[in-house]
Amino acid sequence: MEKFHLPQDGPISRHVCMKGYVSTRAFLFFTERLRLELNSLWLRAFKDDQVLWTVRCSSMKAQIGQGGNVVITTPKRVVQFQADSHEETKAWFRVLALVTSKDISPFIALKDELGTGAFGSVHQGIVENSGKSPTAPEEVYAVKVIKKSKTDRRLIPRLRREIDIQQRLLHDSIVRLVDAFETKADIYIVMELVKGGMLVDRLISMHKFRESDAQYVMQQLLEAVNYLHGCGVVHRDLKLDNILCTYEKGLKVKIADFGLAGGLTHDAEGRGSGGREENRDVRHLK
C-alpha cells in the first residue's frame, strides 16, 4: 500500500492536511472515538494506534448530514462523525470538500504545456497567493496531468507507485515531488520546475563534451543513485531523456521520471530489465 505522508508544505497539502479525534455515529448514537488523518490523497482512521480503514479521497464523497454532522460516503462504507466542537466539525467538512474536488483548480492554476509523455502532459502550475505571507512571491511548479480515461487501467497502480516512491526522496540531484492530487478523472503530480531541459539536448547543443564535464555529471548521478539504493529504490529507467538540467547553462543535473521505479529486492540487483529501450540517438556527440 502507498505511504500515507506527503510533504505538508506543498501547494495542496498545506490547505488540506488535518488530523484530530472525532466521534463516529451508528444509528442514533455516537459510539466510537477515532483519530482521523487526512492528506491530499488519503483519509485514514485509527483506533488505539491501529489502522481501522483507509480510503482514497478520489473515491469518496463528503456532505453535511442531519445535526451538522459530516457524512463520508465511500464504495465500502458510510461514516458519520462529529468533532469535539462545531467549529472543528465545520473545518473537517471544509477540507474534505476540497480534497474531493473535481480538479486541481482550487489549489493551482495550470498554464503553458511544457511537454507530453507516455502517461500524459506536463504543465506549468502557478500558485499566485501561497498563503505563506501577503508579500510571498508566486510559486511555480511542473504539474504532470494524467487522464485516467486515456490511460490503461493496469498502469494506474504504477503511477500511484511513482508518487509513493518520490514522496520519500529528498536529494539535490533528484527531481522533488512537491505534492499530489487525485480525482475520479485525473491524477496530478506536482514537482519542482526544472528549467534547463533534458541532458540529451544539452549534450547535443554543446557539440563537444569534455572529460571534466562527464566526470561532473557522473559524480552527481552516482551520488543520487547511491542515495536511491540507500532508500531501497531502484530507478530502472535511467537514461539521458530522464536526466534534467537544473539551469539553462551548466551541467547541474537531476534524475526524473520514476514511473518504472521499484523496491530494491534481490531480483532487482542488476538483473531487472524494466527500463524502456527507446532513447534518442546521440552517436554524433564527440
Task: Tell which residue, 242, 135, 137, 150, has the closest CA to residue 191.
Answer: 242
**Cell numbers found for residue 142:** 511542473
For residues 8, 9, 13, 16, the Cα torsion angle rounded to the nearest 10 degrees is: 90
User: Rounded to an integer, what distance in angstroms lies between the CA atom of residue 112 and that of residue 140?
Assistant: 12
Q: Is 152 a catalytic residue?
A: no
What SS3 state is found at 114?
Answer: strand
Which residue do the cell numbers 500524459 mark? 120
User: Which strand (E) or helix (H) includes residue 122?
Assistant: strand 120-127
The verdict on whether residue 144 carries a ligand-binding annotation is yes
Which residue do the cell numbers 519542482 mark? 192
Identify the active-site residue in 112, 213, 237, 257. Answer: 237
| Per-residue H/E/C for 14-73 | HHHCEEEEEEEEECCEEEEEEEEEECCCEEEEEECCEEEEEEEHHHCEEEECHHHCEEEE
- Residue numbers belonging to the annotated binding site for ATP: 144
Binding residues, as ranges, are 144
Supply the residues annotated as catalytic. Answer: 237
